[in-house]
Amino acid sequence: MSPVAVITGGAGGLGQAFAAQLVAESWQVVLVDLPTALATLSPASDRVERVRCDLTDEAAVAAVCAGISADYPAIDLVIHNAGVTQIGLFSETTLASQRRVMEINYFGSVRVASGLLHAVRAGRGTHLAISSVAGFAPLCKRTAYAASKHALNGFFSSLASEEAQHDVKVVIAAPSFVATNSGRLDAGTDGIGRPGAATDGFDEMSPQRAAEIILDGWRRGRRFVPVGRVATLGWLINRLSPRLYHWLMMRKIRD
């Protein structure tokens, strides 16, 4: 029987890259995303199932997870990839936007992890959380985004200690900049957009390469996978000297 993977944010560039690599290895893949996002994809193969869901809708997520668990009682891999980015000074960001980013980036993953908990246990599988450099270090003009990714890291790091007794693994990946959306943020979004909208080309990596690095790190048994030069150096510098990290971050912003 083929191994099973569930990918949230499955219609995005990174989600599609994960799916393509897993399907090439004969995995059965379930893509979860908004109806409008899934509608943009080309026809699926018999190894790819598409499930429409808004991860901010608690009842909808519970129903979708129940359906997936019924179809696939043992799940090998859940990639918590759904998320949005956010740019803007805290003084110019509404509380509603702060809450929305948390609902998608943090609570969306928590809902899916809860709904698929027993199926992942049955498969002795892995929760693979797609975080960010902003999950372990500060990021100027990204207060909501950084808060959501710090929360994501804290949740999955803690979940790892609880689920180890069930032979379930938890991996956190931290990409820097992945070229999943070549456009800038749309006007009127209060700084919120799909990942990649804020990429400035610095240390930019293709979603295919990012997915390859992340999956390789998972297979090697790594619990934390920094992706890209910025992520790797940022993690090291912030651990050794938070003050130096802050100085470098502000210099990059000024440049």
CA-based angle 94:204:235, to the nearest 5? 75
Q: At residue 92, what is the residue type?
A: E
The residue from 72, 106, 145, 245 that is catalytic is 145
CA geometry: angle at 134 spanning 152 and 53, to 5°? Answer: 45
**234, two tokens:** 């940022």
Question: How big is the chain, counted in residues?
Answer: 255
Active site residue 145: yes
Q: For residue 86, list its beta bridge partners.
A: 192
Contacts of 91 by beta carbon, 8 Å cutoff, 6+ apart: none
Q: Are 247 and 189 in contact (CB under 8 A)?
A: no
* Residues with a known catalytic role: 145
